[in-house]
Amino acid sequence: MTERPLTPEAGEAIAAIATPVGVGALAIVRMSGRGVLEIADRVFRKKGGTAFSFKEAEGFSAHFGTLSDSRGMVDEVIALVFRAPSSFTMEDMVEFTCHGGPVVVRHLLQALLDSGCRLAEPGEFTRRAFLSGRIDLLQAEAIGEMIHARTESAFRTAVTQMQGNLSRHLQEMRAGLLQSCALLELELDFSEDDVEFQSRDALRLEVGRLQGEILRLVESYREGHLLTEGVATVIAGRPNAGKSTLLNALLGHERAIVSHMPGTTRDYIEECFIHEKTMFRLTDTAGLRESDEAVEHEGIKRSYRKISEADLMLYMIDSSSGDFLKEAAAARELRQRHPESGMIVVANKTDLASDAGGRIAQLQSETACPVIAMAASKGDGLNELKSTMAGMVEGLDKLHEASVLVTSLRHYEALRNAADSLDNALQLISAREPAELIAFELRSALDYVGEITGKVVSEELLNTIFDQFCIGK
């Protein structure tokens, strides 16, 4: 682990397309690094015939002209100049806005590569912003989350992270840990004098306070994960209960094959839909029953695995069947096995059931869960189901208003490790163990917190994070 490692390539001129590839009105090709102003001078000519050089241009200035390669003009472009250190990467940057045809963009990028740039790696612009100290690692990840956000709440949470709210909170905790570590290190320097620069009672209170703050962040991960990744929602039940029909109805299009033959779904199908700012990750699973057929048996095993990972279960029961109470008992048993997951019982095919109202009342009594009456093939009851699903995660769309919220599994694991180290430190303090043992645990906690913001980071971790970015970001 090192402090902000600079790679050998840092500063080398890089270029990439910064907008989605395809036909559009406009596109942007950007470059950053050492010598990009000279490279821009080689390919760009300002309109009007006036003498112009990017090396003399002011930062945050725009210039209209033509960009050419070895065969002639490529396109009329607008060049935006960003001078170091007042740019995203804190290096000299130039962005060319051109017409959005893929051939035009490809020629423009190739002209920059031929003039001295190399093609940027995934996330390399953001990586340089981190390495230069413009943003920390948590903020860099937030940029990726903002780009990939699929709901308003996930977007707002990413914006909050990018603004540095969580970073500042972690920095305050890290400062507290540094202070306690420094005092313990002083004790080690004066070990022969047997002095305490911070009383053990005061140290216990401070470490306990910091551990409490970290644990609160750890506990926020479940809600933060639901907000950004979506509510893992499993549609479960016996074969031919209407699970695939329900999936199609919720999505609003035909995604799963629907058949009257039981056991049609052999493997799970995953899709997402958004309702009232909340994203639900739907999983249509294989029907739950005993089976000796190898493929179906594997599908059922995967169904149970998905159920164990679910935040919300939609358990479908054929309310027209004579075995509907037996299915109610199966739903209740499944709910008891997975108490951490919410459950909604979907009483399907009520249009075919005799005494549907009485059967719904029996299902509510037997399962002790919300029961929604539906005829999924007709769409009856769909709006009520969506409203009930939204009610099960009520307030999720407002979580982004909180000042700090953990949304990343990487951050969650680092904080949990930090909390464990502080717990070890508290035990050592209570047992009046030597200062060096306590200091070791506090330094471990310090490193774990530092991993989140990038104060302590490895090259492997940086590669893992930035490889997930697009090339132009």
CATH number, domain containing residue 392: 3.40.50.300
> What pLDDT score does 261 carry?
45
User: Looking at the domain assignment, is residue 112 inside a domain?
Assistant: yes
Domain boundary among 95, 118, 134: 134
User: Looking at the domain assignment, is residue 464 inside a domain?
Assistant: no
CATH number, domain containing residue 89: 3.30.1360.120
User: Looking at the domain assignment, is residue 82 inside a domain?
Assistant: yes
Q: Which residues are annotated as a binding site for GTP?
A: 240-245, 259-265, 284-287
Q: In what order do the strands lie in the sheet with 342-348?
A: 269-275, 278-284, 231-237, 312-318, 342-348, 371-373
Is 265 in the same domain as 328?
yes
Query: 316 with 369: CB under 8 angstroms?
Result: no
Is 335 in the same domain as 266?
yes
Is 375 in the same domain as 413?
no
Is 276 in the same domain as 355?
yes
Picking from 377, 390, 349, the residue whose alpha carbon sits closest to that of residue 254 is: 377
Is 312 in the same domain as 184?
no
Identify the helix (H) or strand (E) that includes residue 24. strand 24-32
Q: How far is CA 164 from its chain centroid?
A: 16
User: Looking at the domain assignment, is residue 470 inside a domain?
Assistant: no
Q: How much is the pTM?
A: 0.77
Is 260 in the same domain as 361?
yes
Beta strand ranges found along 366-433 (DSSP E): 371-373
Type of residue at 251 = L
> What pLDDT score does 128 carry?
94
Whole-angstrom Cα distance, residue 153 to residue 223?
Answer: 12
User: Looking at the domain assignment, is residue 7 inside a domain?
Assistant: no
424, 425, 426, 428: CA torsion to nearest 10: 90
Whole-angstrom Cα distance, residue 442 to residue 290?
Answer: 53
Domain boundary among 362, 379, 398: 398
CATH number, domain containing residue 178: 1.20.120.430
Sign of CA dihedral 443, 445, 448, 450: negative
User: Looking at the domain assignment, is residue 465 inside a domain?
Assistant: no
> What pLDDT score does 197 carry?
61
Beta-bridge partners for 31: 15, 94
Task: Give ∠ CA 468-472-473 in degrees, rounded to 5.
Answer: 60
SS3 content of the chain, % helix, strand, coil (to 5): 50, 20, 35
User: Looking at the domain assignment, is residue 409 inside a domain?
Assistant: yes
Is 333 in the same domain as 242?
yes
CA atoms within 13 A on the CB side of 425: 32
Is 234 in the same domain as 292?
yes
Total number of domains in the chain: 3
Residues 6+ apart with CB under 8 A from 449: 170, 173, 174, 177, 214, 414, 415, 418, 455
Is 171 in the same domain as 240?
no
Q: Which residues are annotated as a binding site for Mg(2+)?
A: 244, 265
Number of C-beta neighbours around residue 259 at 10 A: 11
- DSSP state letter for 7: P
Residues 6+ apart with CB under 8 A from 443: 181
Whole-angstrom Cα distance, residue 250 to residue 376?
Answer: 9
Whole-angstrom Cα distance, residue 417 to residue 449?
Answer: 9
Query: 148 with 161: CB under 8 angstroms?
Result: no
Backbone angles phi and psi of 42, in degrees to 5: -70, -30
Query: 402 with 437: CB under 8 angstroms?
Result: no
Is 251 in the same domain as 391?
yes
> What pLDDT score does 308 carry?
81
Query: 400 with 224: CB under 8 angstroms?
Result: no
Domain boundary among 375, 398, 421: 398
Whole-angstrom Cα distance, residue 455 to residue 251?
Answer: 43
Whole-angstrom Cα distance, residue 196 to residue 200?
Answer: 8
Identify the helix (H) or strand (E) that includes residue 257. none
CA atoms within 13 A on the CB side of 181: 16
Picking from 267, 287, 260, 206, the residue whose alpha carbon sits closest to that of residue 377 is: 260
Picking from 79, 58, 60, 76, the residue whose alpha carbon sits closest to that of residue 68 is: 76
Tokens 């596109």 correspond to what residue?
Answer: 27
Tokens 């904080």 correspond to what residue?
Answer: 415
Ranges of H-type helices in 151-229: 152-162, 165-189, 200-219, 221-229
> What pLDDT score does 6 carry?
43
> What pLDDT score does 449 carry?
93
> What pLDDT score does 429 carry?
92
Is 103 in the same domain as 174?
no
Tokens 């209407």 correspond to what residue?
Answer: 242
Consecutive 10-residue runs of the chain (473 residues): their mean pLDDT? 44 93 92 96 89 91 94 95 95 96 95 96 94 92 87 82 89 89 76 64 90 93 82 84 84 59 54 83 70 54 77 86 82 84 87 81 85 87 89 66 78 96 94 89 93 86 85 84
Whole-angstrom Cα distance, residue 246 to residue 349?
Answer: 11
Whole-angstrom Cα distance, residue 149 to residue 400?
Answer: 13
Go through 366-387 and write b for each residue having 16 or more CB atoms within 10 A of its CB, e for each that does not: bbebbbbbbbbbeeebbeebbe
Tokens of 423: 């717990």
Q: Which residues are annotated as a binding site?
A: 30, 95, 134, 240-245, 259-265, 284-287, 473
User: Looking at the domain assignment, is residue 458 inside a domain?
Assistant: no
Query: 286 with 266: CB under 8 angstroms?
Result: yes
Range of the domain at 20: 14-134
Is 179 in the same domain as 320?
no
